[in-house]
Amino acid sequence: MLKSKTFLKKTRTGGVMKIVREHYLRDDIGCGAPGCAECGGAHGEPALEPQPQDQASSLWPRPHYLLPDTNVLLHQIDVLEDPAIRNVIVLQTVLQEVRNRSAPVYKRIRDVTNNLEKHFYTFTNEHHRETYVEQEQGENANDRNDRAIRVAAKWYNEHLNKMSAENQLQVIFITNDRKNKEKAVEEGIPAFTCEEYIKSLTANPELIDRLACLSEDGKEIESGKIIFSEHLPLSKLQQGVKSGIYLQGTFRASRENYLEATVWIHGDTEENKEIIVQGLKHLNRAVHEDVVAVEILPKNQWVAPSPVVLQDEGQDEDDVEKEEETERMLKTTINEKMLRPTGRVVGIIKRNWRPYCGMLSKSAIKESRRHLFTPADKRIPRIRIETRQASALEGRRIIVAIDGWPRNSRYPNGHFVRNLGDVGEKETETEVLLLEHDVPHQPFSQAVLSFLPKMPWSITENDMKNREDLRHLCVCSVDPPGCTDIDDALHCRELKNGNLEVGVHIADVSHFIRPGNALDQESARRGTTVYLCEKRIDMVPELLSSNLCSLRCNVDRYLYMLVHKTIVITILTDSHQQMLSAFTHRLAFSCIWEMNHNAEILKTRFTKSVINSKASLTYAEAQMRIDSATMNDDITTSLRGLNKLAKILKKGRIEKGALTLSSPEVRFHMDSETHDPIDLQTKELRETNSMVEEFMLLANISVAKKIHEEFSEHALLRKHPAPPPSNYEVLVKAAKSKNLEIKTDTARSLADSLDRAESLAFPYLNTLLRILATRCMMQAVYFCSGMDNDFHHYGLASPIYTHFTSPIRRYADIIVHRLLAVAIGADCTYPELTDKHKLADICKNLNFRHKMAQYAQRASVAFHTQLFFKSKGIVSEEAYILFVRKNAIVVLIPKYGLEGTVFFEEKDKPKPQLIYDDEAPSLKIEGVVFHVFDKVKVKIMLDSSNLQHQKIRMALVEPQIPGISVPSEISNMDINEPEEKRRKLEK
């Protein structure tokens, strides 16, 4: 059956176009119920169960299927995902509405419908002859969809009644819309609200906790005293943004101060790019990463970023007066130059809420069902939830979702989603940090794994057409100990003409991951491999990352090589073929330069190749070979040549203005049985680290030039923007306090200033300055060459740069490999590769994934540091002050590469006299003055008194300040016992 609509549309040129839209209706769409004679098995998998017995509802004890409306799917997805909820009919009308309104929920519901154990059935009611409805005159789209859902529900019940009378199957309509429910009941459709139905499932009382707290129209419930101003409607916000009254931007909450946030304004305007929002009422219920509209306050109300460190430690209270008292702490006498554009949030343009990990703070009121949830992410406000299992959830990590934030509530309302496990357990905490940083870490699906090569795998004759056989070269890899995903290998040899040939050989992952298939899509989604202290979350399946693509020694690999001027194609003889068949063949990519002994590049060439790595060395092993007076084999000779050239290359880069910064990295030594950290040390960097880095940088720059030359509009590049002058203020002030001058007008002047900033009396000063300089830098980002004009990489002082050398762990490198393969004629192109808008979208995802991976890695280090000090107990170590705050100092402990905050104000204790000078910067405490880079002694201990956020706590030992400094000896109980337990013991 065919339905069609015809209408006329005026074109831009003034003509009239006739448009006909056809809508096909069918009779052969199955209902999803097995054994239905009417449908005759027209439905496919997954299907409903013939006799659903799971949902033992006191409201409807007979076997039934569920049919939810759009709002139930949008707001109660956590309930629907529970294993107890099965046999649900998802209408096409509902699915389309969900897709238009929330992409994350749509993906989750698609995952549920694909789970055969859940028995969710998607019914295409919009193309079924008996369930399709046309929009009536005067009826809006929402009312038409509500009617379509009721028509489908009624059809289902009539349809199922035609089956055997013994079945007595019915469909229950689930809706939170009061009017829609009333109409359904009038039409003879069994209908309940989601809350009514879930509460009727007496065998699953835990499901009640997962219900979102919403009113009938889907908005948060409000009552009581008003705290916040009303959010303006979206239409007014959009008009205000368009007219310039309001500014639109992304809300970024502060980790250090829960009463302060920054709004990063969207658009290209340089003026008012960053707006400070300070105070509870001005924050106005915005949550980190929300897209908001802000109103700029008059200049006499502008503030400076507060140096106060504030953590929200309030209990279950809505005492705004206390908050206002706390806000007064933010006010300080400051230089007018420090003032920044300041605003207030007037409305929310887009909520970016997600499920949050954290812990429950059980209410002090006995039998109370309302409790506060404390998120692991300090940028997220506490969330009030209702639960009947508070006692069971105490001391455990849980996931909670926000439902809404009423104007009368100090905290948003939410609901319990699921229990992750006991706090402090490695598996639980690892799951938390992966979820919190949105790291995709589920096992690869069968759809993805199906595109892996079948084992045993070997190269074909066709694969060798554009490859050069380089297995005769003395190639080796140099990596950290324990590395199995080896992307790169190197070689260096002297040519007959006296010059040197240097090769960088990179695994040809793009040979295995073809554009557009499920493996490619999953790799693109993950974006990067994430390295945790004890775990690696691979971007590609292990068969590729640790086997077929890994350039381990004594195994043939196929690679991509860098060749400028000439493309080498080798025709393989029969003897070559016999030799190839004698090895396990793998695929990869390589890069080769001809250089003189001054490291000047004479020729560059790119080619696909085959190599056989002769050695897989650690940095320490490679360094030992270079330094050894007795070793002179081919591998050692190659390494010495590479090291000599690398030193020249590095010197040349630094002379051009490349920065040599510093960031302390730590390495844990694990117990072989318990896998707990037993030692913590800063990583030792050797010449071989720099050697590998120099040639990777050179390969990346060479490839960037080549792909931009061939694809000026579609090259995937990487840039590092120059920091704004304001970023350097903390560095310049810190250096000035030590009578040193740091110039920041160019990267070259900064590099020269840092080289000159040395003190014979204080050797570690230069390292501290470089650490501070690192904090001033902007984030490097991927971009499409056709969407940007500024290609410069500030840190490397390079006019162009990309990532080519790590395709096993970075998806950007796979795209670059594809571009380079097309550029040298080794592979064919595809439409998405030359679509700059799609490439820009890929870059946006890659930038997000790389940032989240960095945060996850830092969180993993922080957790393992806690485990280390939990077993080690309390230690005292020397430290240097990195930052001075209004009520604290931030210190770095060189021995452990550990950074922490020493607070000088504690709750329920007398406040010391603190005088903060922002210009110096300095902090005077009871007559003792602290400056940046001052040497102090601190005690380091694990603070377990707050199970919500166990943390490394630091206390001042020296200089000794009465009432501030802690004694040299302090018992573990003093810091590790929760406050309430200590009070009982004191009594």
Q: Who's near 812: CB < 8 A, 6+ residues apart?
A: 716, 718, 782, 802, 803, 843, 846
Tell me what pLDDT residue 500 has.
96
Nearest alpha-carbon partner for 550 in 502, 493, 507: 507
The count of other CB atoms within 10 Å of the CB of residue 166 is 7
Residue 978 pLDDT greater than 50, yes or no: no
Specify whether 588 is located in the same domain as 694. Answer: no
Name the domain count of the chain: 6
Region 36-52: what's the mean pLDDT? 71
- Shared domain for 51 and 119, answered yes or no, is yes
Q: What span, in angstroms and rounded, lies between the C-alpha atoms of 889 and 950?
A: 20
Domain termination residue (choose one: 793, 826, 860): 860
At 458-470, the pLDDT tens digits run 777 887 888 898 8
How many angstroms separate the CA atoms of 93 and 97, rounded?
6
The answer to the question of residue 889 being in a domain is yes
Single-letter code of the amino acid located at 752: D
Q: Are residues 478 and 610 in the same domain?
A: yes
The pLDDT tens digits for 484-500 are 889 999 999 999 999 99
User: Which pLDDT band holds residue 559 (cuts at 50, 70, 90)?
Assistant: low
307 and 254 housed in the same domain: yes
For the sheet with 64-68, list strands across it.
120-123, 88-91, 64-68, 170-174, 191-192
Residue 569 above 50 pLDDT? no
- The reply to whether 984 falls in a domain is no
Q: What is the span of the domain harbouring residue 266?
A: 234-312+321-350
Q: How is residue 164 written in tokens? A: 């055997």
**What is the DSSP secondary-structure string of 163-189?**
S-TTT--EEEEE---HHHHHHHHHTT-
pLDDT digits (tens, 9 = 90+) for 789-815: 899 999 999 999 999 999 999 999 999
**Is 313 in a helix, a strand, or coil?**
coil
**Residue 867 belongs to a domain:** no
Q: pLDDT tens digit string along 734-760?
A: 888 888 899 998 888 998 998 888 888
In order of 770, 771, 940, the CA distances from 765 in angstroms are 9, 10, 22
Q: Are residues 332 and 387 in the same domain?
A: no
Residue 436 in any domain: the answer is no
Residue 389 domain flag: yes
Same domain for 485 and 462 = yes
Positive/negative CA dihedral, 710, 715, 718, 722: positive
Q: How many CB atoms lie within 10 A of CB 574?
A: 7
Residue 728 lies in a domain: yes
For residue 91, the domain's CATH number is 3.40.50.1010
What CATH number is given to the structural domain containing 406?
2.40.50.700
Contact criterion met (CB below 8 Å) for 188 and 158: no
CATH classification of the domain holding 269: 2.40.50.690
329 touches 310 (CB < 8 A): yes
- Quick one: 764 and 787 in the same domain? yes
pLDDT of amino acid 965? 84
Say whether both 393 and 456 belong to one domain: no
Please report which confidence band the pLDDT of residue 914 belongs to, taking 50, 70 and 90 as the band edges: confident
Q: What is the DSSP string of 354-370?
A: --EEEEEE--SSTT--E
- Using the predicted structure, report yes or no on whether residue 588 has a pLDDT greater than 90: no
Q: Report the alpha-carbon distance of residue 719 to residue 802 in Å, rounded.
A: 8
The answer as to whether 428 is a domain residue is no
Q: What is the pTM of this model?
A: 0.80
Question: Strand, helix or coil at 67?
Answer: strand
Q: How confident is the model at residue 270 (pLDDT cuts 50, 70, 90)?
A: low
Q: Say which CATH number the domain at 882 has.
A: 2.40.50.140
Helix (H/G/I), strand (E/B), else coil: 613: strand
| 164 and 264 part of one domain | no
Q: Tokens in use for 304?
A: 């400076």
Tell me the per-residue pLDDT of 293-304, one tens digit each, with 9 for 90 and over. 999 999 888 988
671 falls within a domain = no
Say how far apart CA 453 and CA 610 lie, in whole Å.
18
* Rounded average pLDDT over 715-730: 92
Three-class DSSP labels, 418-487? EEEEECCCHHHHHHHHHHHCCCCCCCCCHHHHCCCCCCCCCCCCHHHCCEEECCCCCEEEEECCCCCCCC
pLDDT of the residue at 585: 52
Q: Is the pLDDT of residue 40 over 80?
A: no
- Mean pLDDT in the chain? 85
* DSSP-assigned letter for residue 513: S
Distance CA 613, CA 473 (A): 9
Where b means 16+ CB within 10 Å and e means fewer, 6-35 reads eeeeeeeeeeeeeeeeeeeeeeebbbbbee
Residues 703 and 736 in one domain: yes
Angle formed at CA 856 by CA 676 and CA 658, multiple of 5 degrees: 110
Regarding whether 198 and 65 lie in a shared domain, the answer is: yes
Which H or E run contains 827?
none
Same domain, 474 and 596: yes
| β-bridge mates for residue 912, sequence order | none
